[in-house]
Amino acid sequence: MRTSPVWSPVQYGTYADERARPFRDLVERVRATDVRTVVDLGCGPGALTATLREVWPEAVIRGIDSSPQMLEAAAEYADDHLSFELGDVREWAAEPGSLDVIVTNATLQWVPEQVDLLPGFVRALRPGGWLAIQIPGNGNAPSHAILRELAETEPYAEYAKDASLRPDVPGPAEYVDVLSAEGCVVDAWETTYFHVLAGDNAVLEWVKGTGARPVLQSLPDDLRKQFEAEYGARLAEAYPQKPYGTVLPFRRIFAVAQKLAQKES
């Protein structure tokens, strides 16, 4: 049985400006006009989804997420044009040709079968509609390598080894291949942001809200504290704090696809 971590909107909101930048860069490349229907798959706490009202003010926007905790935080942004609902991206489906824009930001990296989901996303778009995807591509970064190594050692491995595993993610070229085969014009790219984070052991605080959370939650309370202390010490060495802050290089992968008008749903 698949279990999911309990996400914390508060912890995830740490360094919110840095986390928001890829979302803004993604949406900026969507050239959709006359937008009436938008879905944000993996909307999280809703703050970024709410910004889509400014981009497409006439649209009805739906945010979908599998975390009740995230949706509870998102509820404050709901209004007549923006709603949120519980749902798993792996099981989500929409009527063919019913949507103008689908956005999925920092979500599909958790889904091993994400490439298999893409044709269904495209089918849900009207001809001329847009699909916008952003995922982290930093699985080989020290933050993740240290996490896996530590989770595979005792006394943690008994609880955390499986929780540290992550699916491989597509690169830009794979997105181009798959989405082009579905009748889309595709713009795919990658970039590395160099975030300058404030605070002590800033990278630990960053990953506690995302990549490290499944591992930390897999551990008993006493081992969790021990793991976090050891992991934090190694992160502080890998990402030294400087007078101006801590630099976190973070690779991101993007794909924006427009469904061709002549492609049948």
Q: What is the DSSP string of 86-131?
A: E--TTT----TT-EEEEEEES-GGG-TTHHHHHHHHHHHEEEEEEE
Kindly report, residue by residue over 152-198, the tens digit of the pLDDT.
Answer: 999 999 999 888 778 889 999 999 999 999 999 999 999 999 999 99
Helix axes 16-28, 47-55, angle to 10 degrees: 30
* Alpha-carbon gap, residue 90 to 111, rounded angstroms: 8
Q: Is the pLDDT of residue 210 over 90?
A: no
Question: How many CB atoms are located within 10 Å of the residue 31 CB?
Answer: 9
* Alpha-carbon gap, residue 149 to 126, rounded angstroms: 45
Kindly report, residue by residue over 109-160, the tens digit of the pLDDT.
Answer: 999 999 999 999 999 999 999 999 999 999 999 999 999 999 999 999 999 9
Q: E-strand spans in the chain?
A: 37-41, 60-65, 82-86, 99-105, 125-136, 184-197, 246-259
- Percent of the chain, pLDDT > 90? 83
* Alpha-carbon gap, residue 118 to 245, rounded angstroms: 39
Domain ranges of the chain: 9-259
Question: How many CB atoms are located within 10 Å of the residue 210 CB?
Answer: 19
83: closest CA among 98, 104, 64? 64
Class of the domain covering 9-259: alpha beta
pLDDT score for 56: 97
Q: Which residues pair with 246 in a beta bridge?
A: 197
Does pTM surpass 0.85?
yes
228-to-203, 207, 213, 215, 216 alpha-carbon distances in Å:
12, 11, 11, 10, 8
* Alpha-carbon gap, residue 225 to 209, rounded angstroms: 16
Query: Residue 47 has which token pair?
Result: 């703050």
CB burial class (10 A; 0-12, 13-18, 19+) of residue 199? middle
- Percent of the chain, pLDDT > 70? 93
pLDDT score for 20: 92
